Amino acid sequence: MAHAGDSYQVKLKETHLNWGTYRNPTNRDPVEGEGYIKIPREYAIRYSIYNSPEGVGSNLFTVSSRDGFLHNEVLRAQGNSGAGDTYAKQFAIDKDLRRIGAWYRSQNAQVGDIVQVTWQSPTEILVEIL
């Protein structure tokens, strides 16, 4: 479990900024505006970030962004690297895959920008673009 002050950084790629259209759509039509925050595997393991079971501090967190665009929203850890893998590989706003994409656009985020994810507590996360 992550603790206050734990953090990681990821460099944005096109797929993070435009997940709904810049991917190999195998199970649904492309959707404009979707985005996600990558969870590098080493941090998923270190901080025990799972794609299930459901639970606050396991795969559900409260997130805010330093700029105020996101404020106390539910952030879900989701996806995995393959069958049987329990660690999550990305964060998205619960039930709204477009919300992170909207945040990226509000910050004029570009490929190569750095996102920092910092735990304020075991259940609260602050995100920012550096």
**What letter represents residue 116's amino acid?**
Q
CB 59 within 8 A of CB 39: no
> How many structural domains does the chain have?
1
- Strands 90-93, 73-78: pairing is antiparallel
pLDDT tens digits, one per residue of 33-75: 788 899 999 999 999 998 877 667 778 999 999 999 999 999 9
Residue 2: inside a domain, yes or no?
no
CATH of the domain at 70: 2.40.330.10
Residue 1: inside a domain, yes or no?
no
User: CA-to-CA distance for 95 and 99, rounded, in angstroms?
Assistant: 9
pLDDT tens digits, one per residue of 68-99: 999 999 999 998 776 767 899 999 999 998 99
Domain range for 69 = 7-129
pTM score: 0.88
Residue 109: inside a domain, yes or no?
yes
